[in-house]
Amino acid sequence: MTWPSWLTRTSDVRGANSVAVLTHDLGTDPRSDEALDAVLDPTERARAERFVFPPLRRRYRVTHAVLRCALGHWVGQPPGALRFEIGPHGKPALPGGPAFNLSHSANRLLLGITATGRLGIDVELLRPIDELEAMARRNFAADECAILMACPEAERSR
């Protein structure tokens, strides 16, 4: 399988119990809004237009176009031909698979795809946490809080 050249693969394994993990920089996607819109369905295009801030509108378009391109490549269909079902909790799915999950934080997108089973994937921008100790004391068990506070201050927010 050959993935689109603009999509970074952290793994590209297919088969029983395997997962393809793909990442993409949403801020540097080279495609125009028109090219992105060409693979989105009317609902996605309309939703993109509802974003007030252009960077968020662009990020939505790129995210959904990347998802469609990767899944279309996986199943051998044009990205614009994919039809998603929406589950009871609002999560999209492709009828007949593959299973997929995506996460994004700031301009980083992470996408997992598997032919079997379900999966979850998450990415978070590392950033300082204000009032880390107070937050830990409110939310962590006492032994967890003690372990965190025993770490050197420079390592606590990792």
**Span 80-118, pLDDT tens digits:** 999 999 988 888 999 988 999 999 998 899 999 988 888
Confidence of residue 156 (pLDDT cuts 50, 70, 90): confident
Mean predicted confidence (pLDDT) in 140-148: 90
Question: What's the whole-number average pLDDT of the chain?
Answer: 85
What is the Rg, in whole angstroms, of the alpha carbon atoms belonging to the chain? 19
**Above pLDDT 70, what percent of the chain?**
88
Tell me the one-letter amino acid at 89: H
Question: The pTM is what?
Answer: 0.77
In 3-state terms the chain splits into helix, strand, coil percentages (rounded to 5) of: 35, 20, 45
- Residue 141 pLDDT grade (very low, low, confident, very high; cuts 50, 70, 90): very high
Residue pointed to by tokens 């068990």: 141
CA dist., res. 73 & res. 83, Å (int): 14
Three-state DSSP class for residue 80: helix
| CA gap 49, 90 in Å, rounded | 20
User: Beta-strand (E) ranges in 6-157?
Assistant: 8-11, 20-25, 85-86, 92-93, 99-105, 108-114
